[in-house]
Amino acid sequence: MKEGVSRSPMFYVGDKYKLIQEIRTYFPANIGRLIEPFVGGGSVMMNVDADRFLLNDIDSHVIGLHKMLCSYVGREQVFYAELHRIIDYYGLSLSYRENTIPQELRKTYPKTYFAKYNKEGYQRLKYDFIEGGQQDWLMLYVLLIYGFNRMLRFNGKGLFNLPVGNVDYNQNTHNALIDYFRQLSKKQVEWHNEDFRVFLENIEYQEDDLVYLDPPYLITFSEYNKLWDESTECDLLKMLDKLNQRGVRFAVSNVTYYRGRTNTLFLEWSAQYYSHPIKSNYISFNDNSIKQFSEVLVTNY
């Protein structure tokens, strides 16, 4: 755990957990409302002080998980009991509580023994989740914790289709949940599940608002970038210009260079504002190597 930084228990791919210490140094000292059109796992809102939080994501499963977790604030022991009941029912490992992996399995599969041990139970859980109509948010959270790279992935028919991962409910998972419940007990949050354009258009802005945006990156290849193109990027930049004209403070993260590609559209637009290079150590899940790329935070203040 990074000192002074809380980790989201959703372990969202591309979240700002490793960068938030640096990013928030560029935030205003006083924030009435932190407004996030792309909240993702919530690492930013967890680590920023504000009077209120307006939080949005177009992914209904992301918002559903946040709402589910928030519903257990103040009754965390009930959450842990229900979560462990599901884990135990499907025979999944729970290294936070005890070591149940047979020594022989550890020797035979030294790097993948969690996946081997949990595969059958995970598949039963996934089947039951789908057969039950995919409405059980606790089941989905367990699938997230034990799934490959802890992603939320659904196929063209809308069915959850992530395979088991080489992970389980460990001490880091538990610590992240503790942090989430602690932080959310102190924050006034409002959840939205809308397209970012609709979300931003319907807000009555106030003088001490800060809009922080971490949109999908136009020139990278993550799963959640597939629905993002130059058209949506242009819409985003136009909306930011409108916010600036209205005197609304904003800060937007983006990647300007990645694997030989340049986001010229964003670079040219950002020249009218203030750009702050961010030291990133992004690792690609495809080959687990550090990529040559440049991340930037652009502000209008």
SS3 content of the chain, % helix, strand, coil (to 5): 40, 15, 45
Over the chain, what is the mean pLDDT? Answer: 93
Tokens 């980790």 map to which residue? 7
The neighbour count for residue 102, using CB atoms within 10 Å, is 11
| pLDDT of the residue at 272 | 98
Closest CA to 145 of 99, 86, 194: 86
Q: What is the distance in angstroms between the CA of the first residue and the CA of the last residue of the chain?
A: 31
How much is the pLDDT for 285? Answer: 45
- Give the integer Cα–Cα distance in Å for 231 and 7: 33
The per-residue pLDDT for 15 is: 83
Query: In terms of Cα–Cα distance, which of 299, 289, 286 is closest to 13?
Result: 286
pLDDT in the model for residue 281 = 53
Query: CB burial class (10 A; 0-12, 13-18, 19+) of residue 81?
Result: exposed
* Mean predicted confidence (pLDDT) in 106-117: 97
- Per-residue model confidence (pLDDT) at position 26: 98
Euclidean distance between CA atoms 221 and 26, whole angstroms: 27
Residue 191 · residue 67 · CB < 8 Å: yes
Residue 84 has pLDDT above 80, yes or no: yes
| pTM reported for the whole predicted model | 0.92
**pLDDT at residue number 222:** 65
Q: Which residue has the higher pLDDT, 96 or 223?
A: 96
